[in-house]
């Protein structure tokens, strides 16, 4: 977008000494075009779109993280306490690790 628009804004002309110089076309010198394209669209494309996409992606990360926590809680609370697990927790190792 940044290069394609310049094709319609500028053209190469020559000054009185015959040196090439950039001149604005009719579109490039139009005040409404400059206001809308350069001011409004620049801020929308460079600030609003990245901010909105970053917000959306962060929201999806948070939703995924909460779902993972919910699954983890469900797995931990639904795991049956077997005699092997209970015996391991009541041994010295379970107490040393702070699990009992």
Residues 30-85: tens digit of each pLDDT: 888 888 887 888 888 889 999 999 999 999 999 999 999 999 988 888 766 555 55
Picking from 4, 56, 55, 53, the residue whose alpha carbon sits closest to that of residue 27 is 4
What gap in Å lies between CA 41 and CA 34, rounded to an integer?
10
Q: How sure is the predictor about 11, in pLDDT bands with cuts at 50, 70 and 90? A: confident
Asked whether the beta carbons of 46 and 2 are under 8 A apart, the reply is: no
Residue 92: is its pLDDT beyond 60? no
Q: 47 in helix, strand or coil? A: helix
Q: How many beta carbons lie within 10 A of that of residue 33, not counting itself?
A: 15
């Amino acid at each position: 977008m940044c290069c394609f628009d310049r094709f319609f804004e500028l053209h190469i002309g020559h000054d009185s000494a015959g040196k090439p110089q950039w001149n604005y076309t009719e579109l490039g010198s139009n005040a409404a075009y400059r206001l809308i394209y350069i001011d409004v669209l620049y801020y929308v494309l460079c600030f609003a779109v990245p901010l909105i996409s970053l917000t959306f992606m962060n929201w999806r990360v948070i939703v995924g993280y909460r779902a993972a926590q919910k699954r983890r809680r469900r797995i931990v609370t639904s795991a049956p306490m077997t005699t092997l697990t209970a015996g391991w927790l009541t041994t010295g190792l379970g107490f040393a690790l702070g699990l009992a």
